[in-house]
Amino acid sequence: MKNENVIDDVDLFTARQQKLFRSSVAHNDLSAIIENEDCRIGMKQLKENSISLILTDPPYFIDGMGDDWNTQKLKARVKPGVIGSLPAGMKFSVKQGQELQKFLTPVAEEWMRVIRPGGFCLVFSQNRLAHRTAIALEDAGFEIRDVLIWRYEGQAKAFSQDHFIRKRKISAEEKDRLLHKIGGRKTPQLKPQGEMIILGQAPREGTFVDNWDKWETGLIDVNNPLINASQFPGTVIPSNKPKERYGHMTAKPVDLLQHLIRIFSAPRALVLDSFAGSGSTGVAAILEGRDFIGYEIESEMASRAQERIKVTCYE
Ligand SMILES: C[S@@+](CC[C@H](N)C(=O)[O-])C[C@H]1O[C@@H](n2cnc3c(N)ncnc32)[C@H](O)[C@@H]1O
């Protein structure tokens, strides 16, 4: 029986979004749209308390990329994949984290406005920048409940120093001395084996029970986890990096997203991904029987994401 206290979903969208829902991928009574828009502008159209779960993967704060996140501009400026002799995203500077926090703070404030009381906000974060993500969420009013780890097997990225020594304009003896002294040591990067996901929660209205009764948020469903199905869901979640990346460098595995959606939201919840990329969260949301709204600033990526959701979930 319908809980009269739960806000009717139809009321949650602007007229334009309702039209988009109908014309794009409405099927089985579930809807998913990707708005080709800067989420900082687009989310202002969302109503207060309209979102049950935020599950998102903000851009890695790649060195030299302005806050318009124009990857085309970036590609034109640097050799593909390499920035300042290090792979994209690998150049360390204190400013990088501060800039990320500055970018995420107003986004998190908007998340706080649109999320239902008790609603969860799960944000993927490069491990070395995770504290900045957590502060942005906390400053916006989210309670940091935990940090989950997406566990995968990555590739070692530490750099040998030998070739720098060999290139030096110094005597052969001096090179040998240095090579011997460095002893094959590498730059300080262990093999990546996981990525953090910050788990924030909006303040509840009353008790857990009252909050769930009114908003259907704030409690977790551990009855039927998708990953490690026989175990109580834990904070370390194994999932292989996806083989098919749908044209996106950092596409996330759909099973991991489904697992999180299943635990942290109710059936028919509305899931928001402000940084939709190739649309992985949208696919996961529809497969889990949730509605979805995503924002993607790059037009080609936004169309591909919308198409991917249509083909994967509706054809
Ligand atoms: C890390 S990727 C997300 C990848 C995604 N999880 C997937 O599985 O494909 C971040 C995405 O956010 C987009 N983006 C960056 N700034 C944005 C903004 N202000 N509003 C909306 N999208 C933005 C980027 O173009 C990029 O596709």
- For residue 2, being part of any structural domain is answered with no
CATH code, domain carrying 242: 3.40.50.150
Q: Is the pLDDT of residue 87 over 80?
A: no
Indicate if the pLDDT at residue 307 is higher than 80: yes
Of residues 90 and 276, which shows the higher confidence score? 276
Q: Based on the fold, state whether residues 141 and 161 are members of the same structural domain.
A: no
Q: What's the pLDDT at 120?
A: 98
Answer whether residue 224 is part of any domain: yes
What pLDDT, on the 0 to 100 scale, is given for residue 172? Answer: 97
Q: Tell whether ligand 1 has an atom less than 6 A from the beta carbon of residue 301.
A: yes
The answer, yes or no, to whether any atom of ligand 1 lies below 6 A from the CB of 298, is yes
Residues near 292 by beta carbon (within 8 Å), at least 6 away in sequence: 31, 32, 33, 270, 271, 272, 273, 281, 282, 285, 286, 309
Within a domain: residue 4?
no
Distance of CA 231 from the midpoint of ligand 1 (Å): 32
Q: Are residues 111 and 182 in the same domain?
A: no
**What's the pLDDT score for residue 93?**
75
Lowest mean pLDDT among 79-88, 125-134, 163-172, 302-311: 79-88
Q: Based on the fold, state whether residues 172 and 267 are members of the same structural domain.
A: no
Domain limits for position 287:
9-152+192-314
Alpha-carbon 294 to chain mean position: 11
Q: How high is the pLDDT of residue 80?
A: 41
Rounded to an integer, the average pLDDT of 249-254 is 92
At 79, the pLDDT band (50, 70, 90 cuts) reads: very low
Geometric angle at alpha carbon 56, from 241 and 264, rounded to 5°: 95
In Å, how far are 4, 12, 60, 121, 129 from 197, measured between CA atoms?
34, 27, 13, 10, 11
Note whether 121 and 254 are same-domain residues. yes
Angle between helix 94-114 and 130-140 (nearest 10)? 40
Number of domains into which the chain is organized? 2
- Kindly give the distance from the C-alpha atom of residue 172 to the centroid of ligand 1, in angstroms, as a whole number: 49
Do 233 and 101 fall into the same domain? Answer: yes
- The answer, yes or no, to whether residue 55 has pLDDT greater than 60, is yes
pLDDT (0 to 100) of residue 194? 97
Summarised one tens digit per residue, pLDDT across range 256-279 is 999 999 999 999 999 999 999 999
In a domain? residue 3: no
Residue 183 Cα to ligand 1 middle (Å): 41
Most confident of 16-20, 57-61, 291-295: 291-295
Q: Please report the pLDDT score of residue 249 as a whole number.
A: 82
Q: Is the pLDDT of residue 148 over 50?
A: yes
Residues 219 and 249 occupy one common structural domain: yes
Take atom 18 of ligand 1 and give the residue whose Cα is closest: 38
CB 313 within 8 A of CB 287: yes
The better pLDDT of the pair 149, 90 is held by: 149
* pLDDT at residue 83, rounded to an integer: 38
Q: Return mean pLDDT, the chain.
A: 86
pLDDT at 91: 60
Position in ligand 1 atom list of the atom nearest CA 305: 9
Q: Whose CA is nearest to atom 1 of ligand 1?
A: 59
Q: How confident is the model at residue 247 (pLDDT cuts 50, 70, 90)?
A: confident
Q: Domain boundary residue among 171, 190, 209?
A: 190
Which ligand 1 atom sits nearest the alpha carbon of residue 56?
A: 6
Contact 270, 52 (CB under 8 A): yes
Query: How many A from CA of 277 to the centre of ligand 1?
Result: 4
Residues 183 and 277 occupy one common structural domain: no
Does the C-beta of 195 come closer than 6 Å to ligand 1? no
313: pLDDT confidence band, cut at 50, 70 and 90? Answer: confident
3-state helix, strand, coil in the chain (%, to 5): 40, 20, 45
Please determine, for residue 11, whether its predicted confidence score (pLDDT) is greater than 70: no
Model confidence at 94, in pLDDT bands (50, 70, 90)? confident
Does residue 216 line the site of ligand 1, with CB under 6 A? no
Is residue 58 domain-shared with residue 162, that is, in the same domain?
A: no
Q: Are residues 36 and 134 in the same domain?
A: yes
Query: Do 197 and 96 fall within a single domain?
Result: yes
Look at ligand 1, atom 26, and give the residue with the nearest C-alpha.
Answer: 277
Question: What is residue 66's predicted lDDT score, i.e. its pLDDT?
Answer: 46
Give yes or no for residue 59 CB within 6 A of ligand 1: yes
Q: Is residue 1 part of a domain?
A: no
Are 245 and 168 members of one domain?
no
Q: What is the pLDDT of residue 84?
A: 41
Q: Are residues 105 and 185 in the same domain?
A: no
Residue 235 lies in a domain: yes
Q: Residue 23: CA atoms inside 13 Å, Cβ hemisphere, count?
A: 7
